[in-house]
Structures are given as structure tokens and as C-alpha cells.
Amino acid sequence: MGKKILIVGGVAGGASCAARMRRLDETAEIIMFEKGNYISFANCGLPYYIGDTIKDRENLIIQTPEKFKERFNVDVRTNSEVTSINPADKTITIRAGESDYTERYDALVLSPGTSPIRPPLRGIDSPIVFTLRNIPDTDHIRAHVDSKKARRAVVIGGGFIGLEMAESLRHRGLEVTLVEMLDQVFTPADKELASVLHQHLIMNGVRLVLGDGVKEIAPAEDASAEVVLTSGKRIQTEMVIVSIGVKPDTDFVKKSGIAVGDRGTIIVDEHMRTDKPDVYAVGDAVETVDFVSGKKVHVPLAGPANRQGRIAADNMAGIDSVYKNTQGTAICKIFDLTAAVTGINEKDAKRWGIPFLKSYTHGTSHAGYYPGAYPLSIKILFDPKGGKLLGAQVIGKEGVDKRIDVFATALRHGLTVYDLAELELAYAPPYGSAKDPVNIAGFVAQNILESRMPVFYAEDVVSIDSSLQQLLDVRTATEHEQGAIDNSLCIPVDELRMRMNELDKEKEIMIYCQVGLRGYLAARMLMQQGFRVKNLSGGYKTYTNSRGSV
Ligand code: FAD
């Protein structure tokens, strides 16, 4: 018999690690402990089963202990909670039912994941309040919906799980209110992009409450409850989903003396090793390093968990495998829209003091003349020196996944906005454009970087000084009439050459159009005639999104 490897947690990180370990070493004795009833289930699919998009519950269960044993020769012990670790004598204690026992290890891997945060609110323990982490949680929520006891639901928290649950419960015909304490949902994106999601949620019948927290959940006698918000608002409901974030499930790790960070995340090195010999940790429970900023972060996502599981196994098997940090690439479906991010956003850049430039571009998912093209909005952040890509956010109906993955790959390999402009991406009218939205983002950023197109941003509009600057709308008169920035003069771009004399050369001309393209043309025209100009990045569309109120 080879090394004895014990793994705590039997889902993403744990199961990946076990399977890789077996592929690398047929002689190892591998035991995987899982405190729940199921291993290797599709956490990410749970909201879609509740929403009835995934019809068959069996599809959520990717592996059973029996199949895992058969294929990988791993001894899987479910309903077995690891309660303590003794790194000095290399043993762990396991509680299975009423009895405790110990096991010795040569190497130990911790992948206990996170559990949903349940804030200490009055009424939080009511039976109509749910959180979603695993199959039993899913069964409870689905049973509550199936039993038709719930006509209305309040979802607390507008992150990935909250958004997916809001959509799923709408699919099931419930009236849904989504309450978010911040002024935006989907915080990995910046607000001016997320505000598109706000409108879309409302259009799909979700009552959206932003900037308000939940104070208490007051149960009523008829199995309903009243959710009381800090503003004093009261919402009647028959079910509440709490999805305000997660915390590492690491109490047993902390008390075993293994180093954990402030948030309870296990501290690991680049080989996924903890501070104790032969103890590794992976997945949602570990602290990782942000790929762009180098800051310590907690990014609970399935991709990193799976990769880290594999890396821990490599290292246990003597392969020098290194985890090269997390860039937070993530994607979320919100009814007909998709929102995706990679790298840092503007909030992160400001918080961490990272210098950046940004650009907004609005294109279409594929060639506009081919049926079914939808708008696609992109925001990128890049280094003012050299244009290295720092982050990207993409929102649209189609083609978001492909663009974000191009940006994610570019960012991972240190590409610049010049490289984005040069990427040769697949094109035929049903799929893209000869100048793909990724190329366009590169072109625009390049123009900003090289001052060929000086820009201003939506947030600068309030501080425009009409004694020094002149706002110029270069859209058509009809577009201008339908909505424009206050105090702007309208000269359509196609008339600009003839009507330049209407502009005051002493003033800086603050140009805008709908998405930035006509503004760019106007800017180039005016700059070559000696005007000082700036073009509104992302145009009127980004301006209205940034002001988006609910
Ligand atoms: P987990 O997969 O949570 O596994 C940890 C396991 O350890 C659990 O089963 C737990 O019971 C067990 N455990 C904990 N403590 C002990 C103990 N002391 N003893 C024994 N067993 C223990 N990520 C994405 O990237 N994309 C998505 O679309 C996405 N959607 C999601 C949707 C939902 C509803 C949820 C809940 C998560 C979603 N995630 C998504 C996150 C993703 O599932 C996690 O990042 C990933 O599962 C983390 O893997 P892990 O191994 O660290 O933890």
C-alpha cells in the first residue's frame, strides 16, 4: 500500500483532488470524508433544478460513492464529519452518526467549502427561510414551491445565487422581490453596467429593492411572514431565500491550529500547502491571491476549486505544480441577459489604488445585418502605461461567454489593448463581426491611450462648466429630441463639417453620441480643425445606464 491520503469534503475541490490523485498513483490509499449525504453534486445547477429548467434531479448527482469507488478506488465515507485535526500526530477525528473515530494520514487535503451566511436577524430560523448550498437545501426549497404554499418570495442579496434564484422562482410563477443592501446587483461588475440588469429584472417581473437591508422577518400565523426592511418597508411573503454571501466552513480547521486568515479562510502557499506539514487546502475555503492586484482575496468559484484540487494532488504525487492566482472570471445568466467579468473592476482599482484607464464600447453580438444580433456592452480597464489589460466586464444577450473568455485569456497572459486590437478571432455573420467587439474594445482603448481620442466619462458630466466647455450632441435631431444631456447643442455628425462655425473655439468641446462611435468621428474632425475636444466614452447609452434609477 502506498501513501494514505485523507480528503475532507467530497464535492468540487475534494472530488477533483481524489480523482487526480488516483490517476497519478494507483498505490495510494485514498479516503474522502463528506459530512453530507452526497458527493460530487452539481452545486451550480441547483437553482436551475428549483426553477425546473433542469427537470431531472438525478442529473444533479454527478457521482455516487459507489461509482467513485468503482472508477477511482476511493473509499468515500458520507455522513462523516471531520471534527478535528491533530497535525502533530497526523490524525483526524471523524464523527459518523453517534460515534467518533480517528484516522492517520500521510497527507491531508481540506476542501470543506463555504456555508451561506445567516445573519442574526429576528425570524431567521423560521421554517420559511431558506439558504441554498446543497441537495437537501434544494429539496426543501423545491418542495416548498411544489406544494404551492408559496405564492410570493423574497430573495435577500443580489449576487450570483440571489439572481439565479430570483429568475428560477419567477419561472415557477412566484411573485419575487429581490432586496439588495447595496445600490446595485451583481457587484463583480461596476454599477453603470449592472444597471442594465436592474431594468431587465424589473422587465421580467422582479420587484427590485436596492439600497435597503432586511431588519427582521416577522412570521405571521398563516405560514406567511413579513420581511421588514431598514427603511421601514414591509413585504409580505411565503418564503425567503437568504443569499447574502458565504463564509468558509473552517471552524474545525481553526481549532486545530492550522493558520487561517481574517475571514476564516485557510492560508495556503502556491502549492496549496497550509502551514502544517503534509496538510493541503483547496477550494472555497482558502484565501487566494488576486491575479491582477496581488492582494489577498476570497473568490469562491468552481473553476479555481477544481484546479486547486488537481494542483494539491500533483504536489502530493511529487509533481511541482503551482497555482497561479485567481482572476475572478465569472458569468451569470439573468433571464435573457448574461453578465460576465474577469480581472479587476473600477471599484477594486480605486480601493486598491491601482492606476487605470477605462473604456466603454457598445457593439452587437454578431454582424448587425444578420438576423438575431443583440447589443453587447463592454467595459475594460487597462494600465495607463503600456495598456496592459486589467479587467473586463461584458453584458448582453448573446456572445457574452465567448468575449469574456477571450478577455480572460488575454488578461491571464498579460496582453495589452494593442494585442486585443490585433487578435484574429473567428468571424462569419452569424457569429461575430469582421471587427469583433473585442477588437473594437482594443481599438478604442488604443485611441484613448495615445490621445487620439481624448475622452470624458458619464460621471464627469455633472462638473461640465459651460463657461469653459460646450456640450455637443452629434446624433440626429430625432435622437436628440428623444433624450439628451441637458444644455447640449445638437449638430449631427454628418452636418458637422458644414456647421463647425456654430462652435466656440475658445471652449473645450465635450462631444457625445449614442455609443461613442459618431462622437469619435466628430472628435477626429474637430481636432484636425484645431478644436480641443473630448468624447463621452460609451456615449449617451453609458450615460443613461450610469444614472439608472430603479
Ligand atoms: P464545496 O463544493 O462546497 O464542497 C465542500 C464539501 O465539504 C461540502 O459538501 C461539505 O458538506 C463538505 N464539508 C464541509 N466541512 C466538512 C467536514 N468538516 N467534514 C466533512 N465534510 C465537510 N461557482 C461557479 O464558478 N459558477 C457557478 O455558476 C456557481 N454556481 C453556484 C450555485 C450555487 C447554488 C452554489 C451553492 C455554488 C455555486 N458556485 C458556482 C460555487 C461553487 O459551487 C464552489 O465554488 C465550489 O463548489 C467550491 O468547491 P469546494 O470543494 O471548495 O466546496
* Binding site membership of 479 for ligand 1 (Cβ less than 6 Å): no
Q: Separation of 109 CA from ligand 1 center, angstroms?
A: 15
Q: Separation of 321 CA from ligand 1 center, angstroms?
A: 23
Query: At 1, which amino acid appears?
Result: M
Q: Measured between alpha carbons, how far is 114 from 518 in angstroms, rounded to an integer?
A: 48
- Order of all β-strands in the sheet with 152-156: 129-130, 239-242, 152-156, 175-180, 206-210
> What pLDDT score does 149 carry?
84
Q: Separation of 291 CA from ligand 1 center, angstroms?
A: 22
**Which three three-digit cell numbers place residue 539?**
456615449
Q: Separation of 135 CA from ligand 1 center, angstroms?
A: 11
Summarised one tens digit per residue, pLDDT across range 459-496 is 999 999 999 999 999 999 999 999 999 999 999 999 99
Nearest CA to ligand 1 atom 49: 12
> What pLDDT score does 342 carry?
98
> What pLDDT score does 299 carry?
97
CA angle 537, 542, 546 (to 5 degrees): 120
Contacts of 16 (CB under 8 A, 6+ apart): 305, 306, 307, 309, 310, 313
Per-residue burial over 392-427, b if 16 or more Cβ lie within 10 Å, else e, is bbbbbbbbbebbbebbbebbbeebbbbebbeeebee
- Using the predicted structure, report yes or no on whether residue 94 has a pLDDT greater than 90: yes
Nearest CA to ligand 1 atom 36: 133
Strand 91-96 versus strand 80-86 pairing type: antiparallel
* Binding site membership of 343 for ligand 1 (Cβ less than 6 Å): no
Q: What percent of the chain has pLDDT over 70?
A: 100
Cα torsion for 423, 429, 433, 437, to the nearest 10°? -90
* Binding site membership of 113 for ligand 1 (Cβ less than 6 Å): yes
Q: Separation of 36 CA from ligand 1 center, angstroms?
A: 12
Nearest CA to ligand 1 atom 12: 9
Q: Measured between alpha carbons, how far is 269 from 249 in angstroms, rounded to an integer?
A: 19
pTM beyond 0.75, yes or no: yes
- Using the predicted structure, report yes or no on whether residue 100 has a pLDDT greater than 80: yes
DSSP 341-379: EEE--HHHHHHTT---EEEEEEEESS-TTSTT--EEEEE
* Binding site membership of 138 for ligand 1 (Cβ less than 6 Å): no
> What pLDDT score does 372 carry?
96
> What pLDDT score does 223 carry?
81
Mean pLDDT of 97-117: 97
Do the Cβ atoms of 410 and 420 come closer than 8 Å?
A: yes
Q: Measured between alpha carbons, how far is 526 from 310 in angstroms, rounded to an integer?
A: 57
The model's confidence at residue 550, banded by pLDDT at 50, 70 and 90, is: low
> What pLDDT score does 194 carry?
95
Q: Measured between alpha carbons, how far is 284 from 281 in angstroms, rounded to an integer?
A: 9
* Binding site membership of 51 for ligand 1 (Cβ less than 6 Å): no
Query: At 264, which amino acid appears?
Result: G
* Binding site membership of 159 for ligand 1 (Cβ less than 6 Å): no
> What pLDDT score does 253 carry?
98
Query: At 469, which amino acid appears?
Result: Q
Pocket test for ligand 1, best of 31, 43, 163 (most atoms within 8 A of CB): 43
* Binding site membership of 8 for ligand 1 (Cβ less than 6 Å): yes
Q: Separation of 25 CA from ligand 1 center, angstroms?
A: 25
Do the Cβ atoms of 12 and 305 come closer than 8 Å?
A: yes
Mean pLDDT of 87-97: 97
* Binding site membership of 284 for ligand 1 (Cβ less than 6 Å): yes
Mean pLDDT of 258-285: 97
> What pLDDT score does 1 carry?
74
Q: Separation of 106 CA from ligand 1 center, angstroms?
A: 25
Helix, strand, coil percent content, the chain, rounded in steps of 5:
30, 30, 40
Pocket test for ligand 1, best of 33, 34, 44, 131 (most atoms within 8 A of CB): 44
* Binding site membership of 47 for ligand 1 (Cβ less than 6 Å): yes
Q: Separation of 464 CA from ligand 1 center, angstroms?
A: 49
Nearest CA to ligand 1 atom 16: 112
Atom of ligand 1 nearest to the CA of 282: 52
44 is catalytic: yes
Q: Separation of 45 CA from ligand 1 center, angstroms?
A: 12
Summarised one tens digit per residue, pLDDT across range 241-258 is 999 999 999 999 999 999
**Which secondary-structure segment (H or E) carries 273?**
none
> What pLDDT score does 219 carry?
86
Q: Separation of 100 CA from ligand 1 center, angstroms?
A: 24
DSSP 527-548: HTTT--EEEETTHHHHHHHHT-
Do the Cβ atoms of 133 and 35 come closer than 8 Å?
A: no
* Binding site membership of 82 for ligand 1 (Cβ less than 6 Å): yes
Mean pLDDT of 47-62: 96
- Using the predicted structure, report yes or no on whether residue 148 has a pLDDT greater than 90: no
* Binding site membership of 111 for ligand 1 (Cβ less than 6 Å): yes
> What pLDDT score does 504 carry?
96
Considering the chain, what is the average pLDDT of its residues?
Answer: 97
- Using the predicted structure, report yes or no on whether residue 130 has a pLDDT greater than 90: yes
Per-residue burial over 53-88, b if 16 or more Cβ lie within 10 Å, else e, is ebeeeeebeebebeebeeebebebbbebbbebbebe
Pick from 329, 352, 348: nearest CA to 340? 329
- Using the predicted structure, report yes or no on whether residue 218 has a pLDDT greater than 80: yes
Atom of ligand 1 nearest to the CA of 246: 36
Mean pLDDT of 190-196: 95
Cα–Cα distance list, 346 to 190, 359, 399, 449, 530 (Å): 7, 11, 23, 17, 33
42 by DSSP, 3-state: which? coil
Catalytic choice (17, 44, 490, 513): 44
* Binding site membership of 12 for ligand 1 (Cβ less than 6 Å): yes
* Binding site membership of 9 for ligand 1 (Cβ less than 6 Å): yes
501 by DSSP, 3-state: which? helix
Q: Separation of 498 CA from ligand 1 center, angstroms?
A: 63
DSSP 424-478: -----TTT--SS-HHHHHHHHHHHHHTTSS-EE-GGGGGG--TTTEEEEE-S-HH
Pocket test for ligand 1, best of 50, 60, 284 (most atoms within 8 A of CB): 284
> What pLDDT score does 48 carry?
97
> What pLDDT score does 222 carry?
80
Mean pLDDT of 421-432: 97
Nearest CA to ligand 1 atom 53: 113
Pocket test for ligand 1, best of 6, 8, 11, 78 (most atoms within 8 A of CB): 11
Count of CB atoms within 10 A of residue 229's CB? 20
What is the distance in angstroms between the CA of the first residue and the CA of the last residue of the chain?
A: 63
* Binding site membership of 132 for ligand 1 (Cβ less than 6 Å): yes
Pick from 177, 140, 190, 542: nearest CA to 345? 190
Q: Measured between alpha carbons, how far is 232 from 381 in angstroms, rounded to an integer?
A: 39
* Binding site membership of 112 for ligand 1 (Cβ less than 6 Å): yes
The model's confidence at residue 323, banded by pLDDT at 50, 70 and 90, is: very high
